[in-house]
Every structure is written in structure tokens, then in C-alpha cells.
Amino acid sequence: MGSTVESAPPTGLKHDILLVVVPFPADEKWMAKLREQHPGLEVRWVQQPPALEIDPPLPKETYDGVTLLCTLASHPYEMLQKVRFVQLLSAGADRWVGSELYKKPDVTFCTTNGAHAPQIAEWVIGTWLMMNHHFIDYAEEQKKAKATRLMHLNVYDSPGLRMGVLGYGSIGRQCARLAQALGMEVYAYTRTEKATPESRKDDSYCVPGTGDPDGLIPAKWFHGASREAVNEFLAQDLDIVVLSLPLTESTKKILGREQFDILSKKKTFVSNIARGEHIDTDALLDALREGKIRGAALDVTDPEPLPDNHPLFTAPNIFITFHMAWQSPQLFPRVQDIAEKNLMSLSKGEPLMNAVNREHHY
């Protein structure tokens, strides 16, 4: 979940230069709006294909004097000596942890946590329904141009089933909202305890009409940073477990052989839209081949990108996309909304939205 931090004393943005590096064409209307809101602010826009790192760097003159940065990819530290604020396009900050700029305590990083929640949650529920109703099997039969009823396939509907959400941030909350609409019970897992109604509220960006802003959906809450605590959560007869937690040293390979053995009791379906490194790939392959789990839907893999002819491609009961669940024409307008709000708060010295906690990296 996002957090807020106190910004520097208000000075306005009249001496600032904002560099926007995104995979979208320049939005002249939005840039004009920012200049109107912040007289004296200079805005530069560079359209770049999606990448985790800008290599080679942009021309030196593009970086000259830049103090504010809106980007997905990391940039060479030596080009960013004057930067004091970074608005990330991503929901997490794990790709930046090793950056020298990230290590500077006087540079504020904010994510766009919440902007990706609707489309990614729909991917989770869409793949869940696709697997349970065997849509891929019927699509293959349709190609044969023959009316075939696949009566041998077991179809599952959702009422009365249980979803476990491992990481109850904005994406997890929207998954819970959709699961509840399907008649499912939801269990939530967070790193820290959420014992009070106030602690269960979401303080990150939220698209109106989505998510679980007050934390009212879960029937049960679990918490902890140890594998024992995770194992207790996974042992709750979950029909589907959704991985929507940040990647940290403590969450790498949070699903391994021991955890798949626990999930085998219910043959839980596994959905990962967080990071590929959350799952031990070899353990997942064995779990699928041995029928320990019902199946898996992955938008992220380890390694990523998945090499040609990797065994995951042909593993049974698996569906893979390649870090594309975030796609939506509504994404960048939401990103702009978050950036606009944060720039206004920055100019006034007010708390920022989705500020990254440097201890936990989200």
C-alpha cells in the first residue's frame, strides 16, 4: 500500500524542470495545464519504449537542470544530480533499489500504486474464469469448425469458494472486490498486523468505484514476515491464491516446494501478477506436473523474459502472459492524475501520495 511523507517547505515549482520519460506521445494539453498550475515550471517530454533501464542514456542536454522526474526506467545517476522528486510509472519500486539516486534520503520517490489495479484485477479474474470454464479448450474445438460439447471437463463456478490475497494493496483489494461479486470469500495477508478498522483502510490512489478502501471485504486477516506466518495463511483451504505483494528480500521465492505441498491439500489455483521472483520456478513446474495445484496463471516469470522453449511454456494447466496485465488505455490518464496531485502537493509542501517507504521499498 502507498504511504505519505512530509515534503520540503513550500517553495513552488517556478525553478524546477520536470522530465517526463514515458512510452506515450507528448500530451501538449497536459503539459500546458502543468505550466498554468505552476508558473515558471519547465516540462520536457521524451517518448521511449517501455524499459527497465535507459541505456544508452538520453542526450546530456535533455537532463540539464532536471529536478523532477516522471519515469518507469532508471537513468544514469550522474545525469540526475539535481533531482529531488521521482514519480514512478510502476506500482512498486523494487527495480530502483540498487540505484544511487534511490539511496539519497533527500530524494522522494512516489509510485503510481492504484493506477494499475482495475485492469490487473480483471486479468486475475479473467484467467480464473477462463481456466475454470475451459475457454481455451473450447477455442481449440471451435477452430475445427465442429460443434463439440466437452462433457468430460469439470467446470467450477465461484460462489462459496475462497480467495487468498497475499499482499492486500490496491491490486489485491480490487481482486477481492471482484471475487466478492462472484460470491467468493476473501482472506487477506499483509506484512504488518491490521487489527483496527483505521489500519485496514487504503491510503494509496484509488480509482473511484473500485477496490476496498475501508478494508471491509476480507472475512479474515493474517499477517507476518516469517515463512511460518505465510504457511499458516496458505493452509486456510484456499481455492485461489493471488500474489500481489511487493518484491523484497523477504518475499523472494515466497512460494517454494514447502508452500506448494501446503497448497496441494486443496489443489489451489495460483495467480501471480506481482514479480516472477516470488515463485520458485522449479518448484512450480513440479507442482504442475505432479498435479499438486489445479493450475497457474502468470503475468510474470522467473526468468523474465522467459527464454524460448522454457519448460513453463509446455507445463500442464498454465496460462502465461508476459508482464502485460497492466495494459489499459486508462492507465496513463491515471498516472497523470497521480503525478499532477503530487506536483501540487510538492509545490505546497504537503504530504505526497504513494510515497515509497525506503525500509520496505513500497
CA distance 203 to 212: 11
**The predicted structure's pLDDT at residue 3:** 52
Which residue in 150, 145, 142, 180 sits closest to 162, CA to CA?
180
- For the stretch 175-212, pLDDT in tens is 999 999 999 999 999 999 999 999 999 999 999 999 99
Least confident range of 7-21, 174-188, 268-282, 346-360: 7-21
204: CB partners within 8 A, 6+ apart? 1, 2, 113, 114, 169, 170, 353, 354
**The predicted structure's pLDDT at residue 29:** 98
Which residue in 31, 249, 60 sits closest to 75, CA to CA?
60
- For the stretch 124-159, pLDDT in tens is 999 999 999 999 999 999 999 999 899 888 899 999
φ, ψ (nearest 5 deg) of residue 129: -70, -40
**The predicted structure's pLDDT at residue 97:** 87
Query: What is the pLDDT averaged over residues 258-265?
Result: 98
Query: What is the pLDDT averaged over residues 226-237?
Result: 98
The beta strands (E) that lie in 148-261 are given as: 162-166, 185-190, 220-223, 240-243
CA distance 243 to 214: 21
Transcribe 184-212 into DSSP letters: -EEEEEESS---STTTTS--S---TT-S-
Query: What is the pLDDT averaged over residues 270-282?
Result: 98
The beta strands (E) that lie in 97-207 are given as: 108-110, 162-166, 185-190
